[in-house]
Amino acid sequence: SFENVGFIGLGNMGSRMANNLLKAGYKMTVHDVNCNVMKKYSDMGVSTKQTPFEVAEASDVVITMLPSSSHVLNVYNGPDGLLQGGDLLTPQLFIDSSTIDPQTSRKLAVSVSNCILKEKKENWENPVMLDAPVSGGVVAAEAGSLTFMVGGSEDVYLAAKSLLLSMGKNTIFCGGPGNGSVAKICNNLAMAISMLGLSEALALGQSLGITASTLTKIFNSSSARCWSSDSYNPVPGVMQGVPSSRNYSGGFASKLMAKDLNLAAASAEEVGQRCPLTFLAQNIYTEICNDGHETEDFSCVFQHYYSGKSK
Ligand code: NAD
């Protein structure tokens, strides 16, 4: 039931997601602060607007795909922001797919539901919001095979499902507002720590005389098996077609992993949860980035952190 889709944040991920919505036949209105990106879309015949507010005025649903919490808050609450219309908004649904902290997702969901619709649509009284971060990265965004982790009301999730499936192949309902963001940061936290644990074990094994390939074979048929060992091995030469086999290019940048660990650490602190390994992982990834490897895939920790002997 959503014909007019607004999209804000046409970067590495957002541009590919918006292109899949265009392919699916949605009428799109887009905005980005980057003028070159805007020109690309207007040259394609897509309606472009100078402000988030103007996008909102043209849309039934608005999707945001922005770098971090501060950008999302700015686009929603800033001057000429999505909620500028205050108590008379056009869109009935707002979907934020950025990876941000759950506390911000929850605050935004409240701000949205405090607004009123300009025209009542079907049985929607108030505008509503879903947090719907993704996993899959640029390759999955391009192929339309992202996984969406969705927080909000279940009815709204069901109403938005076919829209999300134009950009992805899986949608998972995670519970109330902010729970999509919780799922996303917890997934990446577990992934970071398993990559560090695996790298540490493979580096120690090599130092003690066993090859990484042999040790990986053992792990993959033993209890140390994990995604990092059997699908994304960090040691060059062990697996083909993964970032470690191409100098850690392409993939998930260390700076994005550092950002996601910062979100997990901040959220842990806010709820008073003990997360000692999160803090260690955060320090290691910050060091990797400060040493100049911020654009390399996060599996580069094996090479840059573990493979030399201790300083
Ligand atoms: P990106 O930096 O490539 O794109 C962000 C876009 O937002 C840019 O085009 C930028 O100009 C635009 N932007 C910034 N501030 C704006 C504002 N105030 N108004 C309008 N536009 C604005 O980032 P990305 O890689 O596309 O990632 C987007 C989000 O998705 C992040 O939260 C990231 O953590 C998450 N994510 C990324 C990946 C990945 O592999 N790249 C995977 C999963 C999730």
Residue 65 CB–ligand 1 contact under 6 Å: yes
Active site residues: 184
For domain 4-176, give the CATH superfamily: NAD(P)-binding Rossmann-like Domain (3.40.50.720)
Mean pLDDT of the 44-73 span = 97
ipTM above 0.90, yes or no: yes
- For residue 243, give both structure tokens: 């970032």
Determine the distance separating the centroid of ligand 1 and the alpha carbon of 284, expressed in angstroms. 24
Determine the distance separating the centroid of ligand 1 and the alpha carbon of 224, expressed in angstroms. 34
Strands 93-96 vs 61-64: parallel, antiparallel or unpaired: parallel
Residue 159 CB–ligand 1 contact under 6 Å: no
Choosing among 1.10.1040.10, 3.40.710.10, 2.30.110.10, 2.30.38.10, the CATH entry for 182-306 is 1.10.1040.10
Query: CA 73, CA 175: separation in Å to the nearest integer?
Result: 22
Determine the distance separating the centroid of ligand 1 and the alpha carbon of 234, expressed in angstroms. 26
What φ, ψ does residue 129 adopt, rounded to 5°? -130, 145
Residue 6 CB–ligand 1 contact under 6 Å: no
Is the pLDDT at 102 greater than 90, yes or no? yes
Cβ neighbours of residue 284 under 8 Å, at least 6 residues apart? 196, 301, 305
Query: CA 247, CA 252: separation in Å to the nearest integer?
Result: 13
Residue 140 CB–ligand 1 contact under 6 Å: no
Residue 33 CB–ligand 1 contact under 6 Å: yes
Residue 14 CB–ligand 1 contact under 6 Å: yes
What φ, ψ does residue 61 adopt, rounded to 5°? -140, 140
The residue whose CA has the least distance to atom 8 of ligand 1 is 11
Q: Give per-residue pLDDT as tens, 228-273.
A: 999 999 999 999 999 999 999 988 999 999 999 999 999 999 999 9
* Burial of residue 198, with CB atoms counted within 10 A of its CB: 0-12 exposed, 13-18 middle, 19 or more buried: buried
Whether 146 and 166 have beta carbons less than 8 Å apart is answered as: no
The residue whose CA has the least distance to atom 15 of ligand 1 is 71
Mean pLDDT of the 109-117 span = 94
Determine the distance separating the centroid of ligand 1 and the alpha carbon of 64, expressed in angstroms. 9
Q: How far is CA 147 from CA 90, 99, 229, in A?
A: 28, 13, 22
* pLDDT above 90 coverage of the chain, percent: 91
Is the pLDDT at 1 greater than 80, yes or no? no
311 pLDDT band, cuts 50/70/90, is low
Residue 8 CB–ligand 1 contact under 6 Å: yes
Q: Is the pTM of this model over 0.90?
A: yes
- For residue 116, give both structure tokens: 């009123």
The residue whose CA has the least distance to atom 25 of ligand 1 is 12
Determine the distance separating the centroid of ligand 1 and the alpha carbon of 9, expressed in angstroms. 6
The residue whose CA has the least distance to atom 4 of ligand 1 is 11
Is the pLDDT at 310 greater than 90, yes or no? no
Is the pLDDT at 164 greater than 60, yes or no? yes
pLDDT mean across residues, the chain: 95
Count CB atoms within 10 A of the CB of residue 96: 31
85 pLDDT band, cuts 50/70/90, is confident
Question: What pLDDT does residue 236 have?
Answer: 97
Determine the distance separating the centroid of ligand 1 and the alpha carbon of 97, expressed in angstroms. 9
Question: What pLDDT does residue 125 have?
Answer: 80
Question: What pLDDT does residue 222 have?
Answer: 98
91 pLDDT band, cuts 50/70/90, is very high
Residue 34 CB–ligand 1 contact under 6 Å: yes
Secondary structure, 3-state, the chain: CCCEEEEECCCCCHHHHHHHHHHCCCEEEEECCCHHHHHHHHHCCCEECCCHHHHHHCCCEEEECCCCHHHHHHHHHCCCCCCCCCCCECCCEEEECCCCCHHHHHHHHHHHHCCCECCCECCECCCEEEECCEECHHHHHHHCCEEEEEECCHHHHHHHHHHHHCCEEEEEEEECCCHHHHHHHHHHHHHHHHHHHHHHHHHHHHHCCCCHHHHHHHHHCCCCCCHHHHCCCCCCCCCCCCHHHHCCCCCCEHHHHHHHHHHHHHHHHHHCCCCHHHHHHHHHHHHHHHHHHCCCEHHHHHHHHHCCCCC
Q: How far is CA 58 from CA 72, 91, 251, in A?
A: 19, 8, 35
Count CB atoms within 10 A of the CB of residue 86: 9
Sequence ranges of the domains in the chain: 4-176, 182-306
Is the pLDDT at 87 greater than 80, yes or no? no
Q: Give per-residue pLDDT as tens, 174-221.
A: 999 999 999 999 999 999 999 999 999 999 999 999 999 999 999 999
The residue whose CA has the least distance to atom 21 of ligand 1 is 32
Query: Closest ligand 1 atom to the C-alpha of 138?
Result: 40
Mean pLDDT of the 131-141 span = 94
Residue 16 CB–ligand 1 contact under 6 Å: no
